[in-house]
Amino acid sequence: MSRRAEVADQARAVAAAWSPPDAPASWWLTADTLTAIAEDDVLLDLAAEVPTDRLPALLLSAAIRRRVAEVAAHPLATYYPHPGGPQPPRDDGFRPALRGFAVAEQEALRRLCARHRYQMNEVGRCLDVLPALALVTSDDPRPLALVDLGTGAGLGLHLDRYRYTYRLADGDITDGDIHTGDAGSTVALSCDVRRGRPPVGDPLIGSRVGVDSEPLDLADPSTAAWLAACVPPEAGAVTRFAAAAAVARADPAPMVRGDLVDVLPQVVARVPPDELLCLVDTYVHVFLPPPELARFTALVDEIGRERDVEWISVDPLVPLGPHATTTVQGLAVPPEWLADNRDGGVFGVIGRVSIRAGLRTDTLLDARTPGPPGSSGRLRERASRAQHRGPAGGPGERIAHGVRHRLLRAPLEQAFGRVGSGVGAHDVPRSPGPLDHPQPAVDDRPEGVDENLVCGGSPLERLRIIVPVGNVVH
């Protein structure tokens, strides 16, 4: 495959994932920009100059938006939304305006792509994390020491300072939608609940810290402007980012610069002993090189031998693409989820690793299909649950569909798969966790076992969770 063809495929893949046929109309500009990059020779040539590991199509789309903001008088600027404003309408003038802008601003776009990396900070991901933290706090009353891994601009560190609306499915629950979080917050996030009632609550956060190889300072105008350019040009996403960035600037949380594995022991050493260590990863570990992900998983087990720890992950199945087999935490995945992934591409899986007194419990919480960042996808009709219980870093048992499966310790240097030419294509682990989970070939639930009770855990753990749509509530 040629370089241009590879970049074009990447652009089309992102456009399809972020703006599927049932996406809100406001996502037209995101889809049309990426499609134009795949089809227009001028744009495709510019994107093909960018190394693959820097996400050429997304980086160029951000560079275009940043340059448009600098050259506000150009007709292309009229197509981009502003915080709190509506989505400008679609018309036939967009593609000619985009091509004309790219021709006139080629050198400026090259400079922006050479100087920056693409990094999207989507605060809507907190909609997935909050129910997982509710499970943690329902089991353990201690204040959380929130450690946001790959924190970027640190928006996820302030999830208790946002307000949330979970819209319940018609006919499923009769007592109305769920509202939680800070009722007076300017950051309003909402999502649809396809079935059941999500576990929600206000987590008690004792301390918070972000870890990133390149933490981003929103107080720096140029940094804030570039991050705003990386947000998809959709009115809700633009408004969400602006409001969350204001919250983060008003009360900045501490950040630690460095490699996740290298600096995590130092971060953990500073966590007060009366707080529960809670590591949160949203769409970060899926991009760790295989040796680093294996090191991180082993480090979590090592930390768990010294103190209690939670690891919440929201990541696609790995390896990215239709041949995915597991999660970044090494959790066994129901066959029907793998089949859906083959049909629909990458989707987010919410997993929980909990270690208490050296005993590790892995729980596969829920999954959602592709859609715009912080926007609507479709929840599986039947959300499966699985747990692993055993010593941290040692053998254990997975409990799935009411049947126990013995797990054997797998070497950390296990074989890794190769990601295809999809979003962020590069080497990621085929089975990154320390445990090799056997995959049942058929649904082996004992007859009469309620699918909602397969884990035997708390009622909250047995609930189907959420599918974010991320619409800002005004």
Q: Tell the burial category of 396 from Cβ atoms under 10 Å away from its Cβ (0-12, 13-18, 19+).
A: buried
Q: What is the mean pLDDT of residues 111-140?
A: 94
Count how many residues are written for the chain: 474
Structure-token pair, residue 219:
């107080």
What is the per-residue pLDDT for 328? 94
Q: Is the pLDDT of residue 382 over 60?
A: no
**Cα atoms in the 13 Å half-sphere on the side-chain side of 426:** 12
Tokens 């294996």 label which residue?
Answer: 294
> What is the per-residue DSSP string for 248-266?
HHHSPPPEEES-HHHHHHH
Whether the per-residue pLDDT at 428 is higher than 70: the answer is no
User: At 265, phi and psi to the nearest 5?
Assistant: -60, -35
Which tokens is 464 given?
């189907």
Determine the average pLDDT of the residues in 376-393: 47
Residue 289 has pLDDT above 90, yes or no: no
Angular region, 10: left φ>0, alpha ψ -120 to 50, beta rest:
alpha
Residue 138 neighbours by CB distance under 10 Å: 14
Please name the helix (run of DSSP H) or strand (run of DSSP E) that holds residue 189, with its range, or none.
strand 188-192
Rounded Cα distance, 74 and 94, in Å: 12
Answer yes or no: is pLDDT of 13 > 60.
Answer: yes
Q: Which residues contact 161 (CB under 8 A, 6 or more apart)?
A: 181, 182, 185, 187, 247, 251
Position 377 pLDDT exceeds 70: no
Residues 6+ apart with CB under 8 A from 343: none
- pLDDT, average across residues 207-231: 96
The DSSP letter of residue 365 is E
Q: Give 144's DSSP letter.
A: E
Q: How far apart are the first and last CA of the chain?
A: 46
Mean pLDDT computed over 263-287: 95
| Residue ranges with strand state E in 230-358 | 255-257, 276-282, 309-316, 348-356
pLDDT of 30 strictly over 70: yes
Domain ranges of the chain: 3-115, 123-468
Most confident by average pLDDT, 64-68, 415-419, 437-441, 464-468: 64-68
Task: Please give the residue that has the higher pLDDT: either 352 or 347.
Answer: 352
pTM for the model stands at 0.77
Contact indicator for 373, 416 with CB cutoff of 8 Å: no
Whether the predicted pLDDT of 381 surpasses 60: no
* Mean pLDDT, residues 47-76 taken together: 95
What's the rounded mean pLDDT across residues 97-124?
Answer: 96
* Per-residue model confidence (pLDDT) at position 471: 30
